[in-house]
Amino acid sequence: MNYNNLFWTTIFSVLILMSGKTFSQSQKFEINGKLTGEHFGKIYLFFDNDYRRKDSISSVITNGHFHFEGVASFPILARIHLDQNSYIIDVYMDSPKLTIDCSNTIEITNDRKDTLNQLTIIRSKGSLMEQNKWNFEIWKSKLKALKISEEEKQELFFKRLSAFVKANKKSKVSPYLIGKADILSYNQVNELSKIFDSSLRDTYEAKMVSRLLSSLDKSKFWKPGTMFYDVNLSDSSGKLLSTKDVRNKFTLYVFWASWCKPCRIEHPDLREFYYHNKNKGLEVVSISLDKERKKWVDAIRKDRLTWTQLSDLSGFQSKICKYYGIEAIPVSFFVNGEGKIIGANMSISEMNSIIAGELK
């Protein structure tokens, strides 16, 4: 055997593999987009969940058109938004050129005059992965409209998603869709998580699945009839209080933060809800996930929040957040005088009905 030839053949093979990997990690791409509806300023692009990257890409919107170009490793999830208070649209890129059409409407609240960009994607061209994701999501929206029980919808969804994942084990779209399948039970999601290929275990999409499993595992603590998890937190004056100490006949515990615009948009309605029911045994307790005291206190004053304000300034690392698996806000728990949860994330009209019914 000619070991010299074997050595160089091996080196040559390795170089080919390395060059292929390098090429896949450094391909140039461009996205041409069209945006209809209301908009102003720029549109932004980041990858996976890396929204803090200093090199996130932006594009000026000119006559309803925008253009992104850069370098990325395919396939990758591109995430596009208009500003910090905007829906984020997810688009998969599996080739160097992608065309997308989007639409946007701007929601303006009457009280705070805040805006929310309701950005949506209409169609795309140039990515088979995105088309597969899109087709499944269209089917999912049709499923929601069916006049059948929630149990039947869950079973149909599980069967359809199982078939998709089994047919696309190596596609990032599989863990992506699993990670958004909050309609399913913990056991169903856990079963699906074992199907997709092990090569995807360290991806952003796989982390989505892990987060959903964690959330579903802790969802038993959210169920009506379970005791609310009481903790000690400081109020805005620095006094240490237990969440139990401020409980009334009905108590609404609201998780929010000064930087959370959707949370603060709800404050005018919360003020009215509190005003009309505070003499009927209602207490509202806001639990802030801020980390900076000044921003927290300034937001309390600016939004005219007159009910109990609590925080340990630990953000999502707060003990109560970890207990409930809270990773996004706003979140709320409506609790009775015994400390048992009546419901989570209930609408104000639902809570008003419960208060009225209890008073009869």
Burial 4-26 (b: 16+ CB within 10 A, else e): eeeeeeeeeeeeeeeeeeeeeee
The confidence band for 218, taking pLDDT boundaries of 50, 70 and 90, is: confident
48 pLDDT tier (thresholds 50, 70, 90): confident
Asked if 333 contacts 225 with a C-beta cutoff of 8 angstroms, the reply is no
| Parallel, antiparallel or unpaired: strands 65-72 and 97-104 | unpaired
Please identify which residue in the block is written with the tokens 């010299």.
Answer: 4
Q: Which of 108-117, 126-135, 304-313 has the lowest mean pLDDT?
A: 108-117
Two tokens, residue 170: 């190596």
Round to whole Å and give the CA distance between 246 and 20. Answer: 62
* pLDDT number for residue 3: 42
Rounded to an integer, the average pLDDT of 221-233 is 93
Start-end of H helices in the chain: 3-25, 128-145, 150-167, 173-179, 186-193, 204-218, 261-265, 267-277, 293-302, 319-324, 348-359
pLDDT band at 7 (very low <50, low <70, confident <90, very high): very low
pLDDT of res. 34: 96
pLDDT band at 51 (very low <50, low <70, confident <90, very high): low
* Average pLDDT of the residues in 217-225: 87
Closest CA to 89 of 98, 74, 75, 100: 100
Q: Is the pLDDT of residue 344 over 60?
A: yes
Question: For the chain, what is the mean pLDDT?
Answer: 87
Please, which pLDDT band fits residue 16 given cuts at 50, 70 and 90? very low
Q: What is the gyration radius of the CA atoms in the chain, in angstroms?
A: 25
The CB-side HSE value for 120 (13 A sphere, CA atoms) comes to: 9
**Could you give the angle at which helices 348-359 and 267-277 cross, rounded to 10 degrees?**
10
| Per-residue pLDDT band at 359 (split at 50, 70, 90) | very low
pLDDT at 109 over 50: yes
Amino acid, single-letter form, for residue 327: E
Predicted pLDDT of residue 38: 85
Return the structure tokens found at 122.
């209409």
Q: How does residue 18 score in pLDDT terms, banded at 50, 70 and 90?
A: very low
Is the confidence at residue 9, as pLDDT, over 50? no
Domain ranges in the chain? 17-126, 132-219, 232-359
- What pLDDT sits at residue 40? 80
Q: d(Cα 173, Cα 168) in Å, to the nearest integer?
A: 8
> Would the pLDDT of 119 be above 50?
yes
Q: Which CATH architecture has domain 232-359?
A: 3-Layer(aba) Sandwich (3.40)
pLDDT (0 to 100) of residue 214? 86
Q: What is the pLDDT averaged over residues 33-44?
A: 90
Among candidates 194, 176, 196, 85, which has minimal Cα distance to 134?
176
User: Can you tell me the mean pLDDT for 202-214?
Assistant: 92
Please give the class, per CATH, of domain 17-126.
Answer: mainly beta
Backbone angles phi, psi at 231, to 5 degrees: -140, 165
Residue 39 confidence (pLDDT) above 90: no
